[in-house]
Structure 1
Amino acid sequence: MRQQKSSLIQLLCKCLKFRKTKSQSYEQIKNPINIPQQTERSKGRKTLVIDLDETLVHSSFEPMKINDLIVEVSMNDQKYKIYVNIRPGAQEFLLETSKYFEIIIFTASISEYANSVIDFLDPLGLVDLRLFRENCTIYNNILVKDLSLLKRNLDSVILIDNSVNSFMFQPMNAIHILNYFEDKSDQELTLLIPFLKLLSQFQDVRPVHEWLFKYAHFDKFEYVDQTGTKQLFYDLPTSSDTQRDKLLSPADTPKLEEQKILIKTGNLNLKSQQLKEDEINDELEEKQNESIQADKCTETPNRSETINEKLCVLRDNLNINSPNSVGKQIQFPQNQ
């Protein structure tokens, strides 16, 4: 397993420490945010809030194998070079999602660093608003991105972030994306685009992680669109089950009714069961062949009966094609 490196945010925190007294409460350290109205281009759209570090980019104070950008910042009267590795598809992701959402980049990093990175990521100016460390809420010494301060209806706000701490106040609005470091084969952002396009049509995007779970597992499900009309989503021919499965993030997925899950996974489980049976049958056949060869060398009375008894015991232990397993086999409903 990859050993996680210290993130840029953690390193920056060592340079820029927040000071608060024991008497300070949650309300006293909630930093107000000056949020403008939606622009004409984004008016009426849902809001997509995107984290920066380990979500759109990975940054380090040390050179990496691939450095797409080098940013110089001054902290505590010292200059630092920050090496930035852009997540694959990040610029295309901003380009596509900006057609359907108001785009806000909300980072816990300092603005001097973040602005340079965002300028590189967004040369067309598609990002409607930039929020930084000073806009985060400090709760028990943790930086939290409080979406309620955005002055947007929470039923229309989605946050994509690699840190669960960031969305602890509004977990129902979040997509917990995998950390990005230096893997240039990463496709997390690209795979999210069709799902987000679909979600932009919903009346209420919450809970986002549950919709993501359904999108990844079911060929069809019902939702309510912006006009309040019930709609039925059908899996598109271009969608791949393998690709959609990759969308599932490390965040806890909702526990849906077992029957609904079986409807989607039934065929896969039946195939898996059949493969397992084939493997066992091959193993049993091999043992039978070995036994036949042994019989040629040494005659043993009632050998076949002994072999059959052992085979029955083996099958019973594996619970496959055994008389004792009748009634234990799971029958999965078929897709309608």
Structure 2
Amino acid sequence: MRQQTSSLIQLLCKCLKFRKTKSQCYEQIKNPIEIPAQTERSKGRKTLVIDLDETLVHSSFEPMKINDLIVEVSMNDQKYKIYVNIRPGAHDFIKETSKYFELIVFTASISEYANSVIDFLDPHGLVDLRLFRENCTIYKDILVKDLSLLKRNLDSVILIDNSVNSFMFQPMNAVHILNYFEDKTDQELPLMIPFLKLLSQFQDVRPVHEWLFKYAHFDKFEYIDVMGTKQVFYDLPTSSDTQREKLLSPAETPKLEEHQILIKSGNQIKNEKKQKQEDINVEIEDQQNDSISADRCTETPNKSESNNEQITVLRDNLNINSPNSVGKQILFPQLQ
């Protein structure tokens, strides 16, 4: 399935050819389009930028188990059918977040395909702006979504994307979401809505991933609201209070290792393996040193040190530059 996805993106990308001449490419990168001001409906709101492929939908040239939409496009004088699988909750996600944010869908795909998918996802026109492959910045043959070109204050811009390449220029503004393919039990988007609603009240949303960490792990934390006033977020216990836990600990599937937000269960497994190895090392050391008491083999680690170590591991996993944050990436063709 990953190979099918790659071929789809590659073929779509061939419809727009970038020539790397010094004169043309520089202007195209620096000034891709004229970005309009916020609409009256979204004026004064923060901006939520949402990726399309593998974030809101998954598409393929081959029929899948579930095909929510079939798009026909003409490329290279040939017509192709593209089968689209909508991520669970995508429609409601757009509907709900449009109440709090200016919405921009920013995709590295071509407009001929993307517009049809966005029309299906957003029949009521809640998305304020659509940006496509030609609006991406080319950096070392990588397509990057440069948020500075949106002409919005970066303290008020959030990008949700499955590819770390997309937000390499502004990592503090990004939420790295798990890839979506065909899992109809996926709940990434619905679980993200309460956090985004809270973030819409902040004066500065950066760094987004750290705020997500606090939201997921602490019942109380302070932030500065849009009026510049210090506020305290209290997570009051409710019947649906498991949302934060689900956000960080999805069902144990092969997706576990890819999850870029945070996976408690995955970290617990890592800590258990690490602790087991440490216990083995201690036992070997005890055997080699007769002067060390045998009781040391069963010595219980200091609880506070263990907790601090766990927090450090969790925080490290939120570093989008770490190997754990790479995940599955779309392999774009080399630009010529």
> One fold, TM greater than 0.5?
yes
2:297 alignment counterpart: 317
Contact kept? 2:62, 2:82, Cα under 8 Å: yes
Structural mapping, 1:1-336, within 5 Å: 6-7=5-6, 8-14=8-14, 16-21=16-21, 29-238=29-238, 239-240=241-242, 241-246=244-249, 250-251=259-260, 313=294, 316-320=296-300, 328-331=301-304
Shift of 1:235: 1.1
2:332 alignment counterpart: none
Once residues 318 and 25 of structure 1 are traced to their aligned partners in structure 2, the CA distance between those partners, rounded to angstroms, is 64
Shift of 1:331: 3.8
Once residues 30 and 4 of structure 2 are traced to their aligned partners in structure 1, the CA distance between those partners, rounded to angstroms, is 29
CA-based RMSD: 3.1
Shift of 1:246: 3.6
Shifted more, 34-43 versus 240-249: the winner is: 240-249
Structure 1 letter corresponding to 2:142: I
Structure 2 letter corresponding to 1:330: K
Larger radius of gyration: 1
TM-score by length of 2: 0.74
| Structure 2: gaps of 5 or more residues | 251-255, 276-292, 308-336
Once residues 298 and 31 of structure 2 are traced to their aligned partners in structure 1, the CA distance between those partners, rounded to angstroms, is 60
Shift of 1:4: 6.7
Once residues 165 and 105 of structure 1 are traced to their aligned partners in structure 2, the CA distance between those partners, rounded to angstroms, is 17
Once residues 11 and 234 of structure 2 are traced to their aligned partners in structure 1, the CA distance between those partners, rounded to angstroms, is 45
Contact kept? 1:107, 1:131, Cα under 8 Å: yes
Once residues 121 and 40 of structure 1 are traced to their aligned partners in structure 2, the CA distance between those partners, rounded to angstroms, is 22
Identity of aligned residues (%): 79
Shift of 1:148: 0.6
Structure 1 letter corresponding to 2:99: K
Contact kept? 2:219, 2:235, Cα under 8 Å: yes
Shift of 1:27: 6.0
Once residues 106 and 28 of structure 2 are traced to their aligned partners in structure 1, the CA distance between those partners, rounded to angstroms, is 21
2:321 alignment counterpart: none
Structure 2 letter corresponding to 1:226: V
Shifted more, 35-44 versus 8-17: the winner is: 8-17
Structure 2 letter corresponding to 1:105: V
Structure 2 letter corresponding to 1:317: C
| Structure 1: gaps of 5 or more residues | 254-264, 277-311, 321-327
Aligned residues: 276
SS in 2 for 1:6: helix
Distance 1:86 1:28, change over 3 A: closer
Instruction: Name the structure, 1 or 2, with higher relative contact order (CA <8 Å, separation 6+).
Output: 2
Q: CA offsets per residue over residues 37-73 of structure 1, 9 Å max, x none?
A: 1111111100000000000000001110000000000
Contact kept? 1:31, 1:134, Cα under 8 Å: no
Structure 1 letter corresponding to 2:61: F
TM-score by length of 1: 0.74
Q: CA offsets per residue over residues 247-299 of structure 1, 9 Å max, x none?
A: 8984487xxxxxxxxxxx9xxx9xx99xx9xxxxxxxxxxxxxxxxxxxxxxx
Structure 2 letter corresponding to 1:243: K
